[in-house]
Structure 1
Amino acid sequence: MGEFFSSWLIKEGLLTKNCPDENSFYVYANTAQRTMASAQSFISKAFPQCNITIHHASDTQRDPIFNPVVHNSSKAFRTEAIEEMKTLLKSLHLNSSYEDLQNILDYKESKYCVIKHKCDFITDPNKVFVNTGFKPNLEGPLKICKSVIDSFIMENYEGFPINEVAWGSLQDVDQWDAILGLTRGYHDVIFNTTLIAQDLAKPLLKFITELLLKRQAKVTLLMGHDANIYTVLKSMGFKPYTLEKQYEMTPAGGKIVIQKWGNNTSGNMYAKIDYVYQGTDQMREGKALSLNNPPEVTMLKLEGCVMDDNGFCLWDDFVKLLNGLIGNV
């Protein structure tokens, strides 16, 4: 991703071929090992001969900006949040997907079934948990399914022969689609209810708003993880989207790109938000991304900001939306 973005930013005139200073390119990453490594990988590809500082919180603590934990400690919030999660969980229609994954795993013959006496994804219970200072949690078959599917996805990305991914049971789009509703359902229950998303995302939304409105860097790279993407997108009120050529909703390495554009004729400023990501085949093939081999781009649309057909909404309306979310109104 880094090589593509540096070429694109130079092409658009935001950066030059020289090493950028922090007024041009600013990096802030979560302190988790994988996000620090991802930030380092990005800048080493984007600016291979440059000394770019990765800013972050103290190495000894979890960064509250990115940490997807519950902040509201009121009993009323906890009760309502749990009810929202349970309602969403009940609305999911996943029996067919559960059956397909059970067959792939031969689940009823598994050690887990024998030892735990939990042998049926459809009838075994799911339980939701909301506690202050902790990530929302869900225990039960849906979480098991999510973990299993994650391993299948990684096998696919790492280029396993197709007949070895999930023991050869996922060889076409229809077979993937048959089970992927499980992992989407899991993430929706954990992160995509209104109360939970807004509570978890608020520190990051405050930071994003500060970066957009007060700091002067032309380009800022924030490196978090998929929980941040889920909660920010839900909190900001983005419309449902589909990522072409990709099985996942938040593929590894994907970027939410918030852009500020100007119209020289009218003088108006606009916001535009795209999801930039690698397609499944691009990940399997492992080819470097560039202007000649670009990543996939999906335009994201906001409910609370009137957009034209090209995805542009007035910058002032976008700022008003952000300020409303973080309480600066």
Structure 2
Amino acid sequence: MYIKLFLISVLVLKGHCEKSFKLQQVLILSRHNVRTPLSKNLADFTPKTWPIWKEKSGYLTAKGALLEGYMGEYFALWLKKHDLLENDCPSDDNFFVYANTAQRTIASAKAFVTKGFPGCNVTIHHTSDSHDPIFNPVIHNTTAIFKLEAIEQMRVLLKSLHLNSSYEDLEQILNYKQSEYCLTKQKCDFVTDVNKIFVDVGFKPNVEGPLKISKSVIDSFIMENYEGFPSKEVAWGLLKNNDQWNCVLDLSKGYHSVIFNTTLIARDLARPLLHYMRDILLNKQYKITLLMGHDANIYTVLKSLDFKPYSLKNQHEMTPAGGKLVFQKWLEERSGIFFLKVDYVYQCTNQMREGKKLSLDCPPEFMSMQLEGCKTDEKGFCLWDDFVGILNSLVED
């Protein structure tokens, strides 16, 4: 161990020589690309008319397929650049694709491989179950003490949020006090209406109330913007600059933080996926793996592995549509030591809205990620063995 630390220090001081580092393995944990809004009762929350979508609720859009295809094309180039792909068509032994069963995840995986590897017979694996337990972010722990602790942690996090100005701005955008929901339910004030927390075995943790309503309508705003609706139709033209976007986005971030960003809940939700990832990284022979899931999967994996706080430049979201956590295993050939590098790879908001094609000269954004328990140098590398230790501690039976 001391020899390894010495070698790392030498490498850091001298700077990394790219030729001495060789990429060995990549696991891509991806969120599906642009989809239609999930909520089917958005009309209840405003007297205004929402934009009309061509696809069914929760389905990948044609724009989403286009953008995911661009990501597939880019990654094919990136993998070839780093000599992880030797041929245009990867073999099943080298490239494994697994998608959640939702239409938007299977369709996203198909767009990625169809454009990235045209003419190749790449299998997209998925279960026939309606709820794949690997990706399904539901509570597994059946003990009463877990439920009590989980609710308390969510309550503390909820109370720590300062969202009054965001609530007020969103009410004005929606003209909420004239909405059917307000007029029929007599719940007309986001600031004072009550948020209720739910933690039940077999279900996703949830918050019912103004925070969830806010998340649902903001989700539509985000997808409208990515989809390329005219600016006057995206939030009815009332989000005109980054400050306005960021103010209302605090509500969506707050909701996702409450339900996914307590360590207790995140590790319970993500354990099946982390177990699956560990098996692929340590036991399988795949050089490249694509796991196509949801924002919930990325949120809970990030929190479970204890990644340091991050901010994605040129993006409003913490887990943008089509964004990917890219786990990379590198070999330092002079020392024979393996290293981990993790990048968040995503398209910035303008790239998505404008539908910009990606290439090595016009790449997506790369954000180097750091784990608290894996000491990272200035190039983003940490010891692979330390990462393995973290994974094992989270999924051991």
Q: What residue in structure 1 maps to residue 282 of structure 2?
A: 213
The one-letter code sitting in structure 2 at the alignment partner of 1:321 is I
Deviates more, 1:180-189 or 1:284-293: 284-293
2:201 aligns with one of 109, 129, 132: 132
The one-letter code sitting in structure 1 at the alignment partner of 2:334 is T
Structure 1: distance between partners of 2:270 and 2:95: 24
Q: What residue in structure 2 maps to residue 8 of structure 1?
A: 78
Contact 1:19 1:47 in 2 (8 A): yes
Q: What residue in structure 2 maps to residue 202 of structure 1?
A: 271
Q: What residue in structure 1 maps to residue 146 of structure 2?
A: 77
Q: What residue in structure 2 maps to residue 246 of structure 1?
A: 315
2:255 aligns with one of 168, 186, 193: 186
Question: How big is the shift at 1:140?
Answer: 0.1
Structure 1: distance between partners of 2:293 and 2:242: 29
Other structure's SS at 1:284 match: helix
1:309 aligns with one of 378, 381, 384: 378
Q: What residue in structure 1 maps to residue 122 of structure 2?
A: 52
- Does 2:92 match 1:22? yes
1:176 aligns with one of 232, 236, 245: 245
The one-letter code sitting in structure 2 at the alignment partner of 1:31 is T
Structure 2: distance between partners of 1:252 and 1:139: 24
Question: How big is the shift at 1:177?
Answer: 1.0
Structure 1: distance between partners of 2:283 and 2:183: 58
Structure 2: distance between partners of 1:306 and 1:152: 38
- Does 2:289 match 1:237? no
Question: How big is the shift at 1:258?
Answer: 0.1
Contact 1:137 1:190 in 2 (8 A): yes
- Does 2:126 match 1:61? no
- Does 2:200 match 1:105? no
1:320 aligns with one of 386, 389, 392: 389
Question: How big is the shift at 1:169?
Answer: 1.0
Contact 1:271 1:313 in 2 (8 A): yes
Other structure's SS at 2:93 match: coil
Q: What residue in structure 2 maps to residue 148 of structure 1?
A: 217
The one-letter code sitting in structure 1 at the alignment partner of 2:369 is L
Deviates more, 1:164-173 or 1:180-189: 164-173
Using CA pairs under 8 Å that are at least 6 residues apart, name the structure with larger relative contact order, 1 or 2.
2
Question: How big is the shift at 1:71?
Answer: 0.3
Question: Can you list the C-alpha shifts for 1:148-203, whole angstroms capped at 9, x where unaligned?
Answer: 11111111111122233211111111110111110000000111111110000000
Q: TM-score, normalised by structure 2?
A: 0.81
The one-letter code sitting in structure 2 at the alignment partner of 1:53 is T
Structure 2: distance between partners of 1:114 and 1:17: 62
The one-letter code sitting in structure 2 at the alignment partner of 1:146 is K
Other structure's SS at 1:250 match: coil
The one-letter code sitting in structure 2 at the alignment partner of 1:79 is L
The one-letter code sitting in structure 1 at the alignment partner of 2:389 is K
Task: Describe how 1:230-309 pairs up with structure 2 within 5 A.
Answer: 230-309=299-378
Structure 1: tracts of 5 or more residues without a match: none
Contact 1:97 1:182 in 2 (8 A): yes
Structure 2: distance between partners of 1:23 and 1:308: 32
Seq. identity, %: 65
The one-letter code sitting in structure 2 at the alignment partner of 1:38 is S
Question: How big is the shift at 1:61?
Answer: 3.5
Question: Can you list the C-alpha shifts for 1:260-287, whole angstroms capped at 9, x where unaligned?
Answer: 0111122211000000001000001112
Question: Can you list the C-alpha shifts for 1:106-158, whole angstroms capped at 9, x where unaligned?
Answer: 11111111011000000000001000011111100000000111111111111
Q: What residue in structure 2 maps to residue 159 of structure 1?
A: 228
Contact 1:243 1:249 in 2 (8 A): yes
Contact 1:129 1:136 in 2 (8 A): yes
Contact 1:163 1:171 in 2 (8 A): no
Contact 1:2 1:43 in 2 (8 A): yes
Other structure's SS at 1:247 match: coil
Structure 2: tracts of 5 or more residues without a match: 1-70
Question: How big is the shift at 1:292?
Answer: 2.2
Structure 1: distance between partners of 2:345 and 2:145: 38
Q: What residue in structure 2 maps to residue 41 of structure 1?
A: 111
The one-letter code sitting in structure 2 at the alignment partner of 1:28 is Y
Q: What residue in structure 2 maps to residue 92 of structure 1?
A: 161
Aligned alpha-carbon RMSD (Å): 1.0
Structure 2: distance between partners of 1:18 and 1:193: 43
Structure 2: distance between partners of 1:290 and 1:319: 32
Question: Can you list the C-alpha shifts for 1:85-119, whole angstroms capped at 9, x where unaligned?
Answer: 01100000000100111111111111111011000
Structure 2: distance between partners of 1:246 and 1:28: 27
Question: How big is the shift at 1:24?
Answer: 1.6
